[in-house]
Each structure stands twice: as structure tokens, then as C-alpha cells.
Amino acid sequence: MNSIHTHDLHTDPSQFPGVDVYAVVGNPIAHSKSPAIHQRFAKQSKQVMHYGRLQVELGGFAQAAKTFFGAGGKGLNVTVPFKLDAQSFADVLSPRAELAGAVNTLYLHNGKVCGDNTDGAGLVRDILAQGVRIKGARVLLLGAGGAARGVIGPLLEQLPQQLVIANRSNAKAQELVALFTEKAQAHHVGIASCDLLALEDSAMTPQAFDLVINATAAGLGDESPLTKVAAARVFVPSSFAYEMVYGKTTAFMQQALHQGARVSDGLGMLVEQAADAFLIWRGPDVSIDPRAVLLELRR
């Protein structure tokens, strides 16, 4: 992070004449791996483009995005804490962005700013790429915030047997269940909610889960959303624990490992959601290899 200068945190498309310019916008943004990922995609596909960072003050997203596109910018990736601002800024939303309630990808089409959400698709592709079967699985999603909401639709489309949303406040989890009940029923998926402490109860957790996804922010600190008792009920050796945070073995991952389960951090999700955005911007026929990029980043 120390090698990133202040001027690297503001991408001005007018400084790159004749080149398509993209950026990732967030606050903070110096740590973002998105430029490294997209630069690798551009190299793989022989695309001439520039991808930079854009650090925006809280409350300043709309003006910054308007200035970026006004100066000739072609597209933005959007990260914390601006995904809701991006949704409001977009003129047109994709169906999955509407369902996710947030936007992580902006681009221009026919003079309008379009908003999409590639997070859920990125999560699903990373899980499947690791040989984990979602179809027919019992899935536990921890958290009921924007990160959780953004992945429920794509998870349901994979036809799990059941999706349980567990959150500190069950009321918030129930809101998501209500929002996605129609889609769950259309895919013949059982959907339910509970508070996190209820996972300690054998009535709520009569058997372990095949796939457990941590979409809470607990992994950013040294905490897990699961108590020790709940972890012992939720995980068995055949379980797969997916942590959306990347770059470290979190307390949640350690709990899963203690029960003999397989684990993954969220770096693959980051790469896969970026791949979706890249193809939206550069065209679906462009050839890129997200797994090769992931391998490079893991070295």
C-alpha cells in the first residue's frame, strides 16, 4: 500500500487520450486488487485500455461518477461503501442489479449509464470452480446486509435443496426471505431464516450444512459470526466454508478447519466478478482466463 501515491487514487480519463479508461471507485481504495486483475485481463485479451483507482469522499459519489463519465470514462467498478449510491446513479438497472439491491458495475450504453451486479455470479463461479456442488445442497448464508443480498439470486438459480439465511437480527434475515420467496418457490428451493444464536439449537440445525458462506463483515476483524457451539453443529468434514473476505485465514475459516471442513477465502469471487465486468465492458467474445489470474495473485 505504501507504494501507491496520492495521485494514483484519482483517475482522470482526459489524461489518457485515445485510450478507453476504467476505474474502481471506493473509500478506502488504495488496497484494491482490481487494477492488477483488470490489467491481467487486458494483457490476456490484447485490449488497449487503462484501469485505475478513484477514491471518493463519502457523499461525493454521484458528482465523481458524473465527472468521470463526462471526461470520457467508459466504466466503473464500485466497491464499499458506494454500491447503493451506484444503484441510485444508474439510469438503467439489470434484473440482477435490481434483485441485488446494489450495483458494482457501471457502463455507458446508448447514452445512458447502466448498472449491473456481478458479485453473485462471481461467487457462484468460484465455488463451482473449486469442485463444490450447489445443486441439491443445504446452504447456510451468514449475514443479511448488502453482500448477502447480492448473492441470493444467483445461489437460488443453482437449485440448492435449501437456503437458510442467518443474521444477528432475525428480522433483517426475514426481510430477505420475504424478498426472495417468489424466486425460491419458482426454483423449488426451500428458504428460511433464523438468528445466529439459533444455529446452536439442534431443532434449527438438525444436520450440518454442505455449504456455509460468510457474508458478514466479521472476517475483517478477528471475529466469526458463529459461536463455538454453532460451528460444531454447522460444519462436518464434508462441508465447504466460503469466506467473502480475502487475504487471510479468518476466525470463521479456522472454525471450519477445526471441524475438518474445506475452506476458501473470497479472492476467487473478486476475480470472477471482475471477469464478468470486463466482459460487459469489452464484449462477451473477448477471451480471458480468470483462474489463471487467480493463480498469479495467489503466488
Q: How far is CA 88 from CA 93, 100, 119, 273, in A?
A: 9, 13, 18, 21
- Cell 458495475 maps to which residue? 105
Q: How many whole angstroms separate alpha carbon 91 and alpha carbon 77? A: 16
190-195 and 211-214 as β-strands: parallel, antiparallel, unpaired? unpaired
Give yes or no: 43 in active site: no
* Neighbouring C-beta atoms of residue 135, cutoff 10 Å: 9
Name the grid cell of 65: 461518477
Q: Find the catalytic residue in 83, 112, 172, 248.
A: 83
Q: Please list the active-site residues.
A: 83
